[in-house]
Structure 1
Amino acid sequence: MSIPPAGWSGRTDGTGPEHLRWHQAVRALDSTAFPTTAPSPEQAGSASAGGDSDAGGDAHTTALVGFASDEGVRRNHGRVGAAQGPAALRSALSSLAVVDGTGSLADAGDVSVQLGDEDSPGDLEVGQAQLAQRITALLDAHDLTVVLGGGHETTYASYSGLAGSARVGSDTRIGILNLDAHFDLRQAPLPSSGTPFLQAAQDEQSAGRQFSYAVVGISEANNTRILFQTAEQLSVRWLTDEQSQTADLDAVRQFVRGFIAEVDVLYLTIDLDVLPAAVAPGVSAPAGLGVPLEVITACVQEATRSGKLALADVVELNPTLDVDGRTARTAARLIHTIVTRHQS
């Protein structure tokens, strides 16, 4: 189900470009015209539409889209609530400042997935297909697309949308950089939040492309041996959470740079459970150790400055489990960094 964009509101200090916050700059994409209509020059120059002239003075365009889905988390036996993530992320983003580099912001609304049960699974696959189609259109019309999750089942739709876009050809090497405590390479009867990267690997193989997947933050305590074996078979690269602490920052940066250097187009996915539970309590599976926020931020910075980042998503925010909006605010800051520092 498609839901129009909503939820952008916050403090207003003025209407001049020096006063703007995101809720004043975001332009809602016309749901009747979507997904094929790109912003007109008149819209791009309008302050009320989030135009470039009032949003950092450059031609950079970012599209946002939400995936209100808990079905993958439910199938993976996690704590549901991530379907409320897109609304919480918009709320946390609303009062953040428009700064140099923000560019034009457009919101394509949400794709919503019906939650099922053991006897009658929800329509996850339909929702993923719909989101993938929307992402493809957004990527073809904007410099950067950011997806607001949703459980990590969001990833299969994100990957599929990128693979179907004009950015990817038969010889294009897609790089997937996952900041996460989990591989999410599980074999299962139904797709879930634990299966998306295995699904992507299978699709890349079918397309005759090399699967390029790297993870920062893997918890050895929370991934079974079969998951490590699957990762090895697929030539996945990873750093554990113990290898990704503040003292290891230079090595983590080098790991990320080395991975990005070998791919043509980059997809960044941030599972908020990679962060310490004290920083990100509002997730399905809080971390026992986690990767410090400054290390995750450094990974994001490497991705944004590479010039290869086309798509990012932030997933597994569960507002029902959040403490004082802590996880949502952290996620919003990471999205702000992705958007404002993106280079293409």
Structure 2
Amino acid sequence: MTIEIQTDQKAQRWSGRVDGSAVQHLRWHQQIAAQNSQNLNDAVALIGFRSDAGVQRNRGRIGASDGPAALRAALSPMAIHKQRAMVDLGDVVVEGDDLESGQERLANAVAQTLGTGALPIVLGGGHETAFGTGLGLLQHLADNHSTRIGILNLDAHFDLRDEGQRTSGTPFLDLHQEMQEQGLEFHYAVLGISRPGNTAALFARADELGVPYLLDEHCEPEQVSRFVAAFLERIDVLYLTIDLDVLPASVAPGVSAPAGFGVPFERILAACRQVVASGKLAVADVVELNPRYDVDSRTARSAARLIYEIALG
């Protein structure tokens, strides 16, 4: 399998403390360094998407292109308690404003990875990452039109803007249009919506498209569990996308648009665990980490814990 890789060498990206080489001592950097990317069946496959183009077009604060490196650094020292093959397939790099080409390359990488039987986890990048991730899943399932594809977005924003070009605020309207063209039903739900962060027009568009959502202020444990369960019942295969601005700014300061309220970390973690337990998860991404504005790697560490649960939970 080949994807376009424009990164430093793996040894430079993955490093950390070594307590020993036996299974009970292993950390992520050791496990990933030891894996052969030729046999990916049932492996976790990390793909970076280094892009600021969508955030810049959306007039956000740029820096998300450094997110994949920061996420790898936060994941590297984590201990392994469940044996599973893990590989790093490198980064798809968006040069300048060449977003559309980058999204196509990401889609191809995701589709090829899914074809091997692996679980792709994409490390963003702004939320424009989502169009590439979602398109890759559509490509993978192109011959299975009866499969009900669901997109669960943990996010303070709908990202259903109609801008005339792709941005970090348009990916799910872009995917809706793509699915319409393919004759597919659009199953999309958002957990963590900020009422002040979305215009009345965006709420109206969500209603028009039949998008269920849960406001950040309503994200109590039982409500979160019921919301996720109800959505999972409607679909066969799930794409989970996590925009880190769904978390409180105290937990995730290093994002394009820090939350004034946010959903407590433990509620987002519980939603991730519920998704994994369903057995329907096909692909996931974690986006909008902006290391330039992070504090003590707080956002990166929070994101890494979520990735840890998705991969090895």
Q: TM-score range by the shorter chain?
A: over 0.9
- Correspondence for 1:103: 84
Report the equivalent of 2:209.
234
Asked if the contact 1:88/1:319 (under 8 Å) is kept, the reply is yes
TM-score between both structures, scaled by the size of structure 1? 0.86
Higher relative helix content: 2
Q: Matches of 1:27 and 1:38 in 2, distance apart?
A: 13
Gap runs ≥5 in structure 1: 31-36, 45-58, 116-121
Of residues 217, 239, 243, the one that matches 1:271 is 243
Letter in 2 for 1:15: S
Q: Kindly report which structure 2 residues correspond to 1:103-252, keeping only aligned pairs within 5 A, or say none.
A: 103-115=84-96, 122-166=97-141, 169-244=144-219, 248-252=220-224
The alignment status of 1:87 with 2:93, answered yes or no, reads no
Paired residues of 1:162 and 1:168 also in contact (CA < 8 A): no
Rounded to whole Å, the distance in 2 between the matches of 1:61 and 1:142 is 8
**How many angstroms apart in 1 are the aligned matches of 2:159 and 2:142?**
25
CA shift for structure 1 position 190: 1.3
Structure 1's 168 and 229: CA in aligned 2 closer, same or farther, altered over 3 A? Answer: farther
Q: Distance in 1 between matches of 2:35 and 2:169?
A: 32
1:240 to 1:99, Cα distance in 2 relative to 1, 3 A = same
Q: For residues 305-330 of structure 1, give each alpha carbon's deviation from its aligned partner in whole angstroms, at most 9, with x where no partner exists.
A: 00000100000000000000000000
Aligned AA for 1:108? L
Deviation for aligned residue 1:2: 2.9
Gaps of 5+ in 2: none
How far off its partner does 1:28 sit? Answer: 8.0
Contact map agreement 1:184 1:194 (CA 8 A) in 2 = yes
Q: For 2:177 and 2:112, how far apart are their aligned partners in 1?
A: 23
Quote the offset at 1:143 in angstroms.
3.3
Q: Distance in 2 between matches of 1:169 and 1:105?
A: 27
Contact 1:175 1:213 in 2 (8 A): yes
Structure 2 counterpart SS, 1:103: coil
% same residue: 53
The runs of 4+ residues in structure 1 deviating greater than 2 Å are 27-30
Structure 1 residues 168 and 265: CA distance shift in structure 2, 3 A: farther
| 8 Å CA contact retained: 2:71, 2:300 | yes
Cα offset for 1:61? 1.2
Residue correspondences, number: 307
CA separation in 2, counterparts of 1:79 and 1:262?
A: 36
Distance 1:126 1:171, change over 3 A: same
